[in-house]
Structure 1
């Protein structure tokens, strides 16, 4: 009996803690943006396509704290709002690595380029730039680097693991059904090296991505694409001094020296604190409302994660749920078009067929 009461008490305490944490998480506190503020972007966590609406989805039940990460949708809106907020004077990119895909980084980069049209500054600093972080940093008016740091300009590569030999040693036979020589997902189980078709498509993908990065860096840093390719091929950038000499960064500075530069930009005294505000906090500030005129709408439908049968969730595409979302938009007379935003590695052929049918049916009813 005593053990049962003790267990009940513990469960009650845990329940109360969860409710208090949830209440504090959902409570909307007013955020004040001070004059002469600087928006800080770290981007040191993977950026999902959209911010989770589930208050418990990213909850750490050990610490009873939320690990909620801002999604790309909120991040882009935050950057746009910063451009239109008179109290925000610029953006500080505090970067090292950005654990997100190139498509996401490209969208953030484009948003920052748009932000610059407002006339506000962007300053970037890192102790050590990875290649992805540096690509984003090149949108900045000034790119600074720790004197002991470096810039990772080394090109792109792809590596695959092959399990055919392991499976043979374990006397495991694979039965594969595939169509087309470029359907290479199963190759690691039936080959011991890349097929020519797979090598061709990987090479094309890497070439396109690298050319996009090189062109973007060349445009912002006023460096010839030939020179950037030479830096990558020869691993020419080994030290911070190499990065300055080759115009990849503007100066080698320690963090306190960068803060001095920021104070000069803001016109404040050396001893004054800089009014930094994080993206998560600034998003809570109500931006200027964009009034929508008319009743015609464009529906934005997200398809994120692996494709499967059923309802799915925020991290997995469910054929039933996604089809229903498209169907609701199709039956809404005010919706004149649907944007289907897909970020998926693929998945079930059956589930894909169900979703495809709904999309095709939508086009037949109202071809764009």
Structure 2
């Protein structure tokens, strides 16, 4: 074969590879586009039936509520991934459900609730507003703790598994002191600088004492008394009992099982889960199998997916949750530098006419607070 023939064969091979590579990439791109369009079509077709008539909004009380909602981003929106609904949006969703004709009621899945009493009370008050629209709330639990019961006690019908677990012992505080360990056993010299008139500043007591001071006991007693007073008042009003009856039950430590709760009129019935679901169906006048349930994440996608995102004058909400620390911190911290930058950007934004700072923190760095 001549040199000219070999050259033609070489360039023909190169052209074939290049064309084949381009064709392969084009085919891959078209396939991705097709899949995205297909998923969007499926999602669009399913949006109308996401929340059906006579649906029940389900609130899982065993999940921890952050302040802000965590969405799944653009890819999550394409595949209709559920958002992890934060406390602020949960309150908005409950209020929205109270005016939504498709939502027949709310189901509370009771369990070991990890959230603080302040957050629980906000949700409880939203549920009371929901009841004010003549819509029922049903609660069922296999496990009921004191915090979980406080929220679930608002329900119109509260049921438990007969073999369920109950942990309700009243309000108290357990403090650990290791002054003797540090000073006598480990021979450490603990030096505390505290003015004489600051006896109620008790943060240093565990390092230098073996028991609580009278001042610390007094302030803890007042704090717990105030918390329990709100708890007992709200529970008694929802359950239609006297607060003194609840006091007596806690004093005797008698709330140990579902039967004890039933005897104290703190729940309505003891029954299996399927009987609970059958009651919901009958109360709604439905004969089909299964209760139509909608999770908070699904309802969030339904209610807020078409929110107006156009730039206009508005009030910004800044969520700050965690310990206040120096520097930028991470997602679970309140970093002084990071939030200072956020406030700086908001101050420069002409569309932002005000800022609401929603903070959930036990405190931290005074310097970081000053930077913010």
* Same-fold call, TM cutoff 0.5: yes
Structure-2 separation of matches of 1:75 and 1:130: 21
Tell me the residue number matched to 1:72: 87
Larger Rg: 2
Which deviations, in whole Å up to 9, do the C-alpha atoms of 1:238-260 show, x marking residues without a partner?
Answer: 44333223211111111111011
Tell me the residue number matched to 1:318: 335
Tell me the residue number matched to 2:109: 94
Q: Secondary structure at the match of 1:149?
A: strand
Structure-2 separation of matches of 1:67 and 1:193: 49
Q: Is the 8 A contact 1:113 1:139 kept in 2?
A: yes
Structure-1 separation of matches of 2:115 and 2:244: 27
Is 2:228 the counterpart of 1:236?
Answer: no
Which deviates further from its counterpart, 28-37 or 44-53? 28-37
Q: Is the 8 A contact 1:81 1:287 kept in 2?
A: no
Structure-1 separation of matches of 2:169 and 2:88: 31
Tell me the residue number matched to 1:129: 144
Tell me the residue number matched to 1:351: 368
Unaligned runs of 5+ in 2: 1-31, 74-80
Change over 3 Å in CA distance of 1:34–1:138 after alignment to 2 = same
Q: TM-score, normalised by structure 2?
A: 0.76
Which deviations, in whole Å up to 9, do the C-alpha atoms of 1:343-367 show, x marking residues without a partner?
Answer: 1111112222333xxxxxxxxxxxx
What does 1:18-167 align with in structure 2 at a 5 Å threshold? 29=43, 31=47, 32-52=50-70, 69-149=84-164, 151-167=166-182
Q: Is the 8 A contact 1:84 1:288 kept in 2?
A: no
TM-aligned CA deviation for residue 126 of structure 1: 0.9
Tell me the residue number matched to 2:22: none
Structure-2 separation of matches of 1:152 and 1:106: 19
Is 2:293 the counterpart of 1:280?
Answer: no
Which deviations, in whole Å up to 9, do the C-alpha atoms of 1:300-335 show, x marking residues without a partner?
Answer: 222221111122333111112223333444455655
Structure-1 separation of matches of 2:245 and 2:255: 12
Give the RMSD, CA atoms, in angstroms: 3.1
Structure-1 separation of matches of 2:368 and 2:192: 20
Which deviations, in whole Å up to 9, do the C-alpha atoms of 1:208-259 show, x marking residues without a partner?
Answer: 1111110100111111111111111112334433322321111111111101
Q: Is the 8 A contact 1:134 1:151 kept in 2?
A: no
- What is the total number of aligned residue pairs between the two structures? 319
Change over 3 Å in CA distance of 1:182–1:329 after alignment to 2 = farther
Q: Secondary structure at the match of 1:115?
A: helix
